[in-house]
């Protein structure tokens, strides 16, 4: 994407934000929530409450601890502006036109509702932002919940700690908690979902119809919550856009495996704090947030949710196979050219083949066969598609299969394939979000004919799913249930309809690789026990 194009998209996002804030705002009666009373504002037919605290500020002695109960306040708290985002590098906020305002004191959520009374019992949708578990906030204009609220849901967006503040593991931290470490960001999400369960009825929400939904790292988090005993009973449906976490736990440098084992993550955390000159936890907690963030940088893979054995019990694939997961209907999918955002340089056939042989062991030949790479152009596409499969579409496919085999909740799978003159090879990572929210986005490029209809279609499916666990409804193309025998996918493009998975040969090649890695992990576990 050129600088001029990016500036143009950012300008559109900023103009959208300005238009939103310029609408007539009026105060509304206060709502009583955990901690005290809050008063939002109303824009047209939607009331918005921005910056409601759901936990105590995780600062000082509470840094690297599970979120603690919110501190009560007196009087009525005005909640008409987003709270600061959690500590991070500013680049994603810059790209998305959101405020570059970050703090450790960041555990706040936002509510949009069109309910006329507390008794309406509207379905609830809880948004979890992406950003590689290192970036992300609730404040970008893209995530404004007004349009979804206008379609009959209570929309909630929640903040969670990212980077080293959310996912640092350390031997001392594990001993201190007695339950491992490195999952504070996930614990923030769980605390926010508890808040929703206890308080969303005040905004006309139905506590028995809570849908969690997220994109990228947010979608991965949705799958983690689906596998977490700590999240049991806190949601009733799950939507993941380009997410999922079903690879084996990483114990070394295995390719395509992001969730580190506790011991591995503890070692990395110890090295990180030693690099900051912190000889113990007291010294580490006395460092400024800015010192820690500067040392962490913005690396999207450096800090990741840890298989702590408690919040994340281990390999999610095996958790599902054993039937120990939070069984709900799921609506999950990926975009056709996800890798384009991450693969930006030229690739030769030799370089592609070397990369695959270095990482995929005895399954390299099967992978290479599935990805034509005889020319530089083919090698570049193969590299992008490899990223799509390993990071997003294989975990989604594995999730759909496991849910259909082991769960009672139905699985619905989609494939977002909007193409434009600027994206001839398919839809980029994150592009579907503007269609789900109905807001301008730096990911989606210039508006195209048919975009408004596609956005309306997707929003109706998402809202229907939140209402009943089934996206189908009057006037919509039939979206079949995904099963092992009938693996149909809803394509979102110029003629949206259910079709066969387009990259099934590639998915099967990856499945063979991960099956091998999982068996390898079992053998190692037997040898050490």
Q: Is the pLDDT of residue 16 over 80?
A: no
pLDDT of 2 over the 50 cut: no
**Selection from 22, 50, 97 nearest residue 444 by Cα:** 97
pLDDT at 443: 85
For 178, counting Cβ atoms within 10 Å of its Cβ (0-12 exposed, 13-18 middle, 19+ buried), the class is exposed
**442 — pLDDT class (breaks 50, 70, 90):** confident
* Whole-angstrom distance, CA of residue 462 vs CA of residue 215: 13
pLDDT band at 25 (very low <50, low <70, confident <90, very high): low
Domains, the chain, ordered by start: 24-327 (3.40.50.1820), 329-529 (3.40.50.1820)
Here the tokens at position 59 are 């600062």
Provide the token pair at 459.
């929003």
Min mean pLDDT across 26-35, 162-171, 194-203, 265-274 is at: 26-35
Q: Are 265 and 243 in contact (CB under 8 A)?
A: no
Average pLDDT of the chain to the nearest whole number: 94
CA gap 378, 359 in Å, rounded = 20
Say what angle helices 349-359 and 376-388 make with each other, to 10 degrees: 30
Q: What are phi and psi of 471, to 5 degrees?
A: -70, -15
Nearest by Cα to 412 from 493, 454, 466, 474: 466
Note if 286 is an active site residue: no
Nearest to 395 by CA among 193, 231, 248: 248
**495 catalytically annotated:** no
Looking at 266, 338, 431, 432, which residue is catalytic? Answer: 338
Give the distance, in angstroms, between the CA of residue 343 and the centroid of all CA atoms in the same chain.
20
- What lies within 8 Å, CB to CB, of 455 at 6+ separation is 434, 435, 436, 438
pLDDT surpasses 60 at 129: yes
Least confident range of 281-290, 296-305, 357-366? 296-305
Q: Is the pTM of this model over 0.75?
A: yes
Residue 529 pLDDT level (bands cut at 50, 70, 90): low
Whether residue 24 has pLDDT greater than 60: no
* Residue 178 pLDDT class (50, 70, 90 cuts): very high
d(CA 127, CA 458): 16
| pLDDT of residue 1 exceeding 90 | no
Give the model's pLDDT for residue 28. Answer: 80
| pLDDT of 26 strictly over 90 | no
Give the tens place of pLDDT for each residue, 290-302: 999 999 988 888 9
**Residue 22: pLDDT above 60?**
no
21 has a pLDDT exceeding 70:
no
Instruction: Point out which residues pair with 124 in neighbouring strands.
Output: 154, 210
Indicate which residue of 157, 174, 181, 216 is catalytic: 216
- Identify the active-site residue in 429, 431, 432, 496: 429
Decide if pLDDT at 218 tops 50. Answer: yes
Find the mean pLDDT for residues 241-250.
Answer: 98
Alpha carbon distance 119, 122 (integer Å): 9
Q: Average pLDDT of 2-6?
A: 38
- Region 342-370: mean pLDDT is 96
In the chain, the percentage of residues whose pLDDT exceeds 90 is 90
Evaluate if residue 81 carries a pLDDT over 60. yes
Supply angle C-alpha 329, 111, 48, rounded to 5. Answer: 140
Tell me the C-alpha distance between 445 and 503, whole Å: 25
Find out whether 184 and 58 touch, Cβ atoms under 8 Å: yes
In percent, the amount of the chain with pLDDT more than 70 equals 95
pLDDT(12) > 50:
no
Q: Is 338 a catalytic residue?
A: yes
Indicate the pLDDT class of residue 19, thresholds 50, 70 and 90.
very low
């Amino acid at each position: 994407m050129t600088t001029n194009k990016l500036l143009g998209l950012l300008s559109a996002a900023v103009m959208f934000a300005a238009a939103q804030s310029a609408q007539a705002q009026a105060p509304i009666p206060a709502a009583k929530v955990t901690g005290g009373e809050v008063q939002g504002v109303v824009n047209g037919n939607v009331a918005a409450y921005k910056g409601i605290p759901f936990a105590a500020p995780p600062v000082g002695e509470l840094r690297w601890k599970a979120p603690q109960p919110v501190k009560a306040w007196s009087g009525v708290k005005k909640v008409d502006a987003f709270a600061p985002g959690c500590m991070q590098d500013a680049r994603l906020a810059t790209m998305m036109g959101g405020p570059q305002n970050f703090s450790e004191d960041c555990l706040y959520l936002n509510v949009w509702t069109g309910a006329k009374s507390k008794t309406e019992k509207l379905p609830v949708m809880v948004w979890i932002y992406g950003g590689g578990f290192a970036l992300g906030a609730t404040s970008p204009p893209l995530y404004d919940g007004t349009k979804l609220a206008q379609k009959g849901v209570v929309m909630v967006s929640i903040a969670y700690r990212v980077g080293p503040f959310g996912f640092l593991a350390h031997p001392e931290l594990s001993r201190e908690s007695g339950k491992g470490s490195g999952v504070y960001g996930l614990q923030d999400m769980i605390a926010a979902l508890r808040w929703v369960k206890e308080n969303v009825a005040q905004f006309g929400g139905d506590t028995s119809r809570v849908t969690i939904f997220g994109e990228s790292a947010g979608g991965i988090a949705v799958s983690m919550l689906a596998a977490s005993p700590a999240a049991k009973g806190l949601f009733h449906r799950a939507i993941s856009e380009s997410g999922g976490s079903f690879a084996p736990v990483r114990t070394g440098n295995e390719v395509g495996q992001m969730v580190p084992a506790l011991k591995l993550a503890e070692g990395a955390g110890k090295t990180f704090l030693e690099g900051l000159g912190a000889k113990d936890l007291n010294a580490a907690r006395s460092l400024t947030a800015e010192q820690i963030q500067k040392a962490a940088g913005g690396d999207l893979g450096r800090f990741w949710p840890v298989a702590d054995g408690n919040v994340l019990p281990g390999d999610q694939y095996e958790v599902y196979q054993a039937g120990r997961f939070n069984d709900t209907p799921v609506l999950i999918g990926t975009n056709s050219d996800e890798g384009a955002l991450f693969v930006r340089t030229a690739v030769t056939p030799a370089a592609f083949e070397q990369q695959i042989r270095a990482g995929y062991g005895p399954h390299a030949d099967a992978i290479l066969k599935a990805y034509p790479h005889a020319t530089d152009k083919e090698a570049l596409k193969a590299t992008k598609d490899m990223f799509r499969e390993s990071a997003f579409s294989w975990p989604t496919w594995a999730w759909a299969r496991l849910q259909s085999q082991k769960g009672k909740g139905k699985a619905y799978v989609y494939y977002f394939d909007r193409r434009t003159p600027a994206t001839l090879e398919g839809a980029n990572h994150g592009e579907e979000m503007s269609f789900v929210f109905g807001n301008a986005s730096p990911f989606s490029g210039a508006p195209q004919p048919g975009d408004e209809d596609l956005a309306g279609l997707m929003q109706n499916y998402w809202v229907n799913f939140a209402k009943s666990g089934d996206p189908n409804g009057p006037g919509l193309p039939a979206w079949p249930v995904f099963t092992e025998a009938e693996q149909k996918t809803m394509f979102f493009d110029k003629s949206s309809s259910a079709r066969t998975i387009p990259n099934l040969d590639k998915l099967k090649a990856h499945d063979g690789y991960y099956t091998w890695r999982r068996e390898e992990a079992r053998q190692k576990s037997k040898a050490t026990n």
